[in-house]
Amino acid sequence: AAAPTTAAAPAAEAKPKGEEKKKKEEEEKAKEEAALEGLGALFG
């Protein structure tokens, strides 16, 4: 689900939009990897 553009506008003005998107994707990926590692520790 995409966030409303109005809410993201101030941040988008401060940084290039591509950079924002890349940072968010990296954070999501890191969270996913941490979750997978946690599951691996539980069920491994």
Alpha-carbon distances, residue 14 vs 2, 8, 21, 27, 31 (angstroms): 19, 10, 13, 19, 25
Digitized pLDDT (tens) for each residue of the chain, 44 residues in all: 555 555 555 555 666 789 999 999 999 999 999 999 998 988 87
Answering whether pTM is above 0.75, one says: no
Looking at residue 13, what is its pLDDT?
A: 61
And the tokens for 42? 């539980």
Tokens read off for 40: 């691996």
Residue 44: its pLDDT value, please?
74
Q: What is the pLDDT of residue 27?
A: 97
Query: Kindly report the CA angle at 9 between 22 and 34, in degrees rounded to 5?
Result: 35
